[in-house]
Structure 1
Amino acid sequence: MATQTPLLLGIDCGNTVVKAALFDLNGREIAVHAQSVGTQKPAPGFTETDMDEHWQHCVSAIAGALAKAGVGGGAIAAIGVSGHGNGVYLLDRDGQPLKAIQSMDTRAEALVASGALDEAAILPLNHQGIWAAQTPVLLRWLCQHQPELYQRIGTAFLCKDSVVHRLTGARSSDFSDMSGCGLIDFGRGGYSDELLAAYGLDDAHDWLPPLHQSTEVVGEVTAASAELTGLAAGTPVVAGLFDVVASALGSGVERTGQASLIAGTWSINQVIVEQPPKPGSVFMASTFDATRFLAIESSATSTANLEWFIREFCADECQRARDRDASVYQIIAEELTDVSLPADLPLFHPYLYGAGQALHARGGFYGVTGWHDRSAMLYALFEGVVFGHRQHLDRLRAAGVSFDSVRLTGGGARSDYWAQLFADVLDVEIDTADGSETGALGAAIAAGVGAGCFADYADGTAQMTRLSAHYQPCTDKREFFERRYQFFCQLRRAMEPLWQQMAEFNQGLNSPD
């Protein structure tokens, strides 16, 4: 498809997929091309990717998007990159790929549990404490367990930074990604020796790249990268964003007090605030722009549960979705239209992959009877995922974070039934964003600001984002959902000691005699 208008390229790098998307300055998606990313699992709990292979997937995604659009690289005004936060991507002292650990990695769980890291010293500085896949925690693990590799580190940055480096040769990162991974001292507004020392990384300061605002141009596409991708040499590339920030921006969330809910593999619940939340009050704090922050509550408790259900029990529905060129989420939701809410419905805990910092939490159906069918179980799963999101929003409210509008994106937003359930359970008005590539769109908006196409984020989102649908909560269901939510929370409290005992029992079974 030929076009004469300037385009913006957004590259969105997840743990499993790289997407390159081209947009015009009105936010219209011109073309998108996705490439799967391979994950290596060299040991239990280890998730890594090959950095050379990762770059080749980026090259293919970019070239594929240009080919689908029928344009040359000269049509692109600027490029932005977003990427999964945390994990760590390492270059050696010659600037060559050394190791890339993804954000699903759990190798450092024992280190976190051991108390060897001084969380009491860390928490007041980075406002989020420690967890296994956090970048500085992984660096400390490498120091202890792979000292020879540790001594070879020349640069430690994040997924999207490695792509920016390949495109431009620039060694850079941005504030949103580095704050989201725990390496920003909020009191100082940047790196600090005190924070690094608290992680036991006194020698790491020189490895960390210069910090930039997400919209700042950090380099230009090199001749070598242009030859590989089809881009034009000299095209400006901005520092880029943490992917949850990009997704918020790409859904049109840019005003203080707006909430961005992402019902994807992870349950992401974030609100733009003027001041960072009190240390320890929420799961994660990140910068949003030069003056504001995101208060973030998240866990792998959202549509990953439905993906499991579909994979194990819904082969026919998957085929129907392919035949109709429709979303499998919409196909599955059609099964729920005849479910009666006042019925004796089961409850579901969406903890198939743990519950954030409660790693031993497990999924479960409760109150199942002989007359319940698959539709009742499926309804419980849909509702349980929304209850999980509500738990995160309750923690944000308890931390003093307020919001006056909610934008829902991710797989859950592609189902009208599920989006309405979000409005009913959360008892708030829900808007969904037009378009599915919100991460790439957010990166493209940042690129547009950096290239001077837009004055700021507000201008960029006004021109490039649109609403898809609006959902009003049904007030006559309020008492029903409130009572079921309280049962959901009571069940979690009752199960927590049992989950811990089960984990200890299973660990004993797996231990050598």
Structure 2
Amino acid sequence: MSAWLGIDAGNTGVKALLFDDAGRELACAHRDTGGHSPEPGMVERDIGRLRTDLADLVRELLDKSGLQGRDIAGIGTSGHGNGLYLLDAEGGPLAAIQSLDSRTAGLVEEWTAAGVGEAAAAICLQRPWPSQTPALLAWMARHRPQVLARAAHVLMCKDLVVHALTGQVATDITDMGGAGLLRLPENRYDDGLLEIYGLGGVAAKLPPLHWPTDRVGTVSAEAAARTGLAEGTPVVAGFFDVVASAVGAGVTRPGQASIILGTWSINQVVVDAPLDGVFMATGIAPGRFLSMENSATSATNLEWLAHHLLAQDTRRAGGSAFALADALAAAAPAKADGPMYHPYLYGAAGDPSARAGFFGLAGWHDGGDMVRAVFEGVAFAHLAHVEKLLAAGARLRGITVSGGGARSPVWPQMIADVLRLPVKVAAQA
């Protein structure tokens, strides 16, 4: 039988899945590949480890499924948007900055005061923000000029996966559009936009631009030896992960909306023309765009809670910290005097200095109340973004919820309650 391999490289891990021709999942494997913080506000990862984990993951998946490399008909990828990944001319790693990084907050403030944001938004329909790729490139030019000078390739996260599999350098319109590096709605690079950012010298480092489904290479002999895949297996350009989630959930027609309960709070609607005044827009197909309101305020809060506050209880009881969180949140009744939680571990939209916190705690509240507050705080953060989309003129004709948080038996219902709208949970969320 033939199968199709999908690889998703997110901020916290890499997942690989096999599907049959009917789209049924055959096998899945995952590796935690979270980053590290060398200084406050900085979040980076090790490209060498990412490449090793990728190879090990694919081998594990093939072993688990019982399939051979020759059974894989083609490979598609997705990865977190923005951040910054730099390779030298030989493919050696120079920088790997994730989209949770906020080192450029001061630079973005300078740009805003100088009118750079408005000038850029007139072209790319996105204002600079701290984890945005152009802002990180400008930070590198100012603080690590020798690294940027050595860089031959400016890539997005999923482009690293494509490079590891094929040796080819390529990217797609969804990632580069979402990074504020394309003229929209034309979906092309723009020298004038780079000049606005002060990045005129970067143009030659940007990879060839493709539609997500374009074939950009085949599995190399070296990658075949590392992964167990067959040399020559086709690989397509791939998607910005939030776009992949929307398309995979069937959100492709104008008015259809996608909410992703993932590391980031992703709230997006399909439109014929990008909406003005929202956080981000990117093309997904000729004449179709996603307008988005996003921030790092979603399930990353639950991950922090699970790893730092529930880990000991989980070890005692066994099972999953996330399942424990679901049980505690479900058992805690909604209370008029319940504590509130601000989900700003990595800043808020428009305010990278914002921080998380519990408010209104009283002596009669317990751990379950605090866990429920985290779930509710994230739900209200999604509401704030959806309200901005509606204010910009979006007309929602159905909402599909996906992402790791959508597997919770509690969270999707909270989202529906807070939005006061029906939501559908994507299959295989």
TM-score normalised per structure 2:
0.93
Q: Which residue of 2 aligns with 1:144?
A: 142
Q: Does the residue aligned with 2:70 lie in a helix, a strand or coil?
A: coil
Say whether residues 1:421 and 2:420 are aligned partners. Answer: no
Name the stretch that deviates more: 255-264 or 114-123.
114-123
Contact 1:88 1:138 in 2 (8 A): yes
Structure-1 separation of matches of 2:228 and 2:352: 44
Q: Which residue of 1 aligns with 2:99?
A: 103
Contact 1:306 1:381 in 2 (8 A): yes
1:228 partner letter: R
Q: Does the residue aligned with 2:410 lie in a helix, a strand or coil?
A: helix
Deviation at 1:141, TM superposition (A): 1.4
Name the stretch that deviates more: 310-319 or 62-71.
310-319
Name the stretch that deviates more: 88-97 or 122-131.
88-97
**What is the aligned-residue identity percentage?**
47
Q: Which residue of 2 aligns with 1:365?
A: 358
Instruction: For 1:28-43, list aligned pairs within 5 A.
Output: 28-37=24-33, 39-43=35-39
1:128 partner letter: Q
Structure-2 separation of matches of 1:388 and 1:400: 19
Task: Provide Cα deviations, 1:117-160, integer angstroms capped at 9, x if missing partner.
Answer: 72221111111110122111111111122222222221112111
Q: More relative contact order in 1 or in 2 (CA 8 Å, sep 6+)?
A: 1
Q: Which residue of 2 aligns with 1:496?
A: none
1:201 to 188, 193, 199: 199
Name the stretch that deviates more: 337-346 or 110-119.
337-346
Task: Provide Cα deviations, 1:269-310, integer angstroms capped at 9, x if missing partner.
Answer: 1111111111xx111111222321111111121222233333
Name the stretch that deviates more: 285-294 or 348-357.
348-357
Structure-2 separation of matches of 1:44 and 1:337: 34
Q: Does the residue aligned with 1:55 lie in a helix, a strand or coil?
A: helix
Compared CA separation, residues 353 and 52, structure 1 to 2 (3 A) = closer
Compared CA separation, residues 9 and 194, structure 1 to 2 (3 A) = same
1:305 to 301, 306, 320: 301
Compared CA separation, residues 329 and 92, structure 1 to 2 (3 A) = closer
Instruction: For 1:154-173, list aligned pairs within 5 A.
Output: 154-173=152-171
Deviation at 1:317, TM superposition (A): 5.1
2:60 to 58, 64, 86: 64
Name the stretch that deviates more: 153-162 or 311-320.
311-320
Instruction: For 1:265-344, list aligned pairs within 5 A.
Output: 265-278=263-276, 281-315=277-311, 318-319=314-315, 322-323=318-319, 328-337=321-330, 339-341=332-334, 343-344=336-337
Q: Which residue of 2 aligns with 1:411?
A: 404
Compared CA separation, residues 338 and 32, structure 1 to 2 (3 A) = closer
Contact 1:383 1:421 in 2 (8 A): yes
Contact 1:321 1:328 in 2 (8 A): no
Q: Which residue of 1 aligns with 2:49?
A: 53
Contact 1:260 1:406 in 2 (8 A): yes
Structure-2 separation of matches of 1:321 and 1:127: 49
Structure-2 separation of matches of 1:44 and 1:409: 31
Q: Does the residue aligned with 2:100 lie in a helix, a strand or coil?
A: coil
Q: Does the residue aligned with 1:86 lie in a helix, a strand or coil?
A: coil
Contact 1:35 1:60 in 2 (8 A): no
Compared CA separation, residues 204 and 322, structure 1 to 2 (3 A) = same
Q: Does the residue aligned with 1:189 lie in a helix, a strand or coil?
A: coil
Task: Provide Cα deviations, 1:484-511, integer angstroms capped at 9, x if missing partner.
Answer: xxxxxxxxxxxxxxxxxxxxxxxxxxxx
Q: Does the residue aligned with 1:204 lie in a helix, a strand or coil?
A: helix
Structure-1 separation of matches of 2:35 and 2:341: 30
Compared CA separation, residues 180 and 336, structure 1 to 2 (3 A) = closer
Contact 2:256 2:270 in 1 (8 A): yes
5+ unaligned residues in a row in structure 1: which ranges?
A: 437-513
Contact 1:17 1:34 in 2 (8 A): yes
2:175 to 161, 164, 177: 177
Q: Which has the larger radius of gyration?
A: 1
Deviation at 1:319, TM superposition (A): 4.2
Structure-2 separation of matches of 1:221 and 1:41: 33
Task: Provide Cα deviations, 1:227-246, integer angstroms capped at 9, x if missing partner.
Answer: 21111111111010001111
2:248 to 238, 247, 250: 250
Structure-2 separation of matches of 1:308 and 1:53: 22
Structure-1 separation of matches of 2:363 and 2:93: 56
CA-based RMSD: 2.1
Deviation at 1:171, TM superposition (A): 1.7
1:49 partner letter: R
2:130 to 132, 152, 164: 132
Deviation at 1:328, TM superposition (A): 4.1
Say whether residues 1:216 and 2:209 are aligned partners. Answer: no
Contact 2:310 2:321 in 1 (8 A): no
1:237 partner letter: V
Name the stretch that deviates more: 255-264 or 301-310.
301-310
Deviation at 1:187, TM superposition (A): 4.8
Say whether residues 1:74 and 2:70 are aligned partners. Answer: yes
Instruction: For 1:439-458, list aligned pairs within 5 A.
Output: none
Say whether residues 1:376 and 2:343 are aligned partners. Answer: no
Deviation at 1:44, TM superposition (A): 3.6
Structure-2 separation of matches of 1:126 and 1:71: 43
Q: Does the residue aligned with 1:206 lie in a helix, a strand or coil?
A: helix
5+ unaligned residues in a row in structure 2: which ranges?
A: none
Structure-1 separation of matches of 2:286 and 2:364: 56
Compared CA separation, residues 187 and 412, structure 1 to 2 (3 A) = closer
Contact 2:311 2:321 in 1 (8 A): no
Deviation at 1:78, TM superposition (A): 0.7
TM-score normalised per structure 1:
0.78
1:388 partner letter: A
